[in-house]
Amino acid sequence: MRNTTTIKTLLSVLFSALALTACGGGGSDNSAALAALSAAGRTSPTQGATAPQAGSGNTDPAPTDGGEAPADTTPSVLVIAHRGSTGYLPEHTFGGYELAVKLGADYIEPDLQFTQDGELVAMHDDTLNRTTNVATLFAARNGGYKVSDFTLAEIKTLTVVPTGTAATTYPGFTPSSADPYRVPTFQEVITLAKSLSTTAKRKVGIYPEAKQSDVAMEDKILSTLVANGYGAASSKVFIQSFSDTTISSLHTKQLAQKTEMPLILLGVALTDPDGTAKFKVISGSLGTLTLAQVKAFADGIAPAINYDSYGYPITKDFITQAHAAGLKVHGWTFAKADATAAAAEYKKYLDMGMDGMFSNYADLAVASRDAFLKAGATQ
């Protein structure tokens, strides 16, 4: 058995490698990160640790987003626009989010980072240089370009650039925003989602991720959502994090403020030799939790897809056990650009019973989801 120091070192390598791929890859290769996780072994230093316990349930009325339940047309299987239209347009931008909704996405996903002056902006990385032109406008600060080293006003001067298969245009699409590829604030993403709900004639959900395990970020996310009318379990919002510490803390804070926004813990699927499904946490406690422990503070899990060869496969039985524990299962990230290959991948996980899919190509996800639901309706 590897000693604790060795395991922690290997896990540290993994999490560094996952910095650009967390909640999804962005078109990059995860093999080095996965190899590190596999090498670390499937028993964490804190395996078997007791998850934070839930408090008493909230039965009081909670504020809703506009006083309405989610639209009846919301499908039973969700398409979540991973960072917007990552495969087509610059990620985390007004244009990318708008295109994703036009392509049929049910939710748009803003990853959140703090600026130097304490504002939440939509940005996956904790640095600006991979996805913006910051290096052409500013000198490096503290040896790099961390989001937290720049003010909102400075970040607003930047242009988000395409990465991977993305471009700056999409056939037949003209963004409605005057500056479609600027960095948006969290508030601007919420405002956009409400505006797009009106034009699309369906309620567009938001799926923010706390990218930092930070109590101040937790508070800011919750206060911003509540100020915009979200709060009920029926609100079309999920809050996600890779940190079980963060999700547990958000759960506790929601109990105190009598809100019930659904919480999703990201990580990887794990099945014990006896067939028991568990969930591997890759930030926060770095522990392995039973599904009952996860359910004590979360409403769902978001495991990585295609980690089979590294010992973390998602199976039909895993999803069945998650559902039995009362947990939704949303998989990340569906990033195949080829329509035929993508359709096969979506069908594989839909056949297992997956409830939602983070996708770089919302149109491909919607097509596969709709075909799957139509086939089921005719059986």
End-to-end CA distance of the chain: 50
When divided into structural domains, the chain yields a total of: 1
Q: Which of 38-52, 145-159, 195-209, 226-240 has the lowest mean pLDDT?
A: 38-52
Is residue 16 included in any domain, yes or no?
no
Q: What is the pTM of this model?
A: 0.85
Is residue 209 included in any domain, yes or no?
yes
d(CA 12, CA 366): 36
CA nearest 160: which of 129, 116, 191, 197? Answer: 129
What digits encode the pLDDT tens for the residues 75-127? 999 999 999 999 999 999 999 999 999 999 999 999 999 999 999 999 999 99
- Quickly list DSSP for 251-285: HHHHHHHT----EEEEEEEEE-TTS-EEEE--BTT
pLDDT exceeds 90 at position 20: no
Is residue 50 included in any domain, yes or no?
no
Burial of 229 (0-12, 13-18, 19+ CB in 10 A): middle
Position 23 scores a pLDDT of 56
- The CATH number given to whatever domain includes residue 280 is 3.20.20.190
- The count of C-alpha atoms lying within 13 angstroms of the C-alpha of 291, restricted to the half-sphere facing its C-beta, is 25
CA nearest 357: which of 374, 332, 376? Answer: 332
- Per the model's pLDDT, the better-predicted residue between 94 and 36 turns out to be 94
Is residue 40 included in any domain, yes or no?
no
Is residue 102 included in any domain, yes or no?
yes
45 and 7 in contact (C-beta within 8 Å)?
Answer: yes
Provide the mean pLDDT of the chain.
86
Is residue 19 included in any domain, yes or no?
no
| 294: containing domain | 64-377
User: What's at 3, amino acid-wise?
Assistant: N
Is residue 121 included in any domain, yes or no?
yes
Is residue 35 included in any domain, yes or no?
no
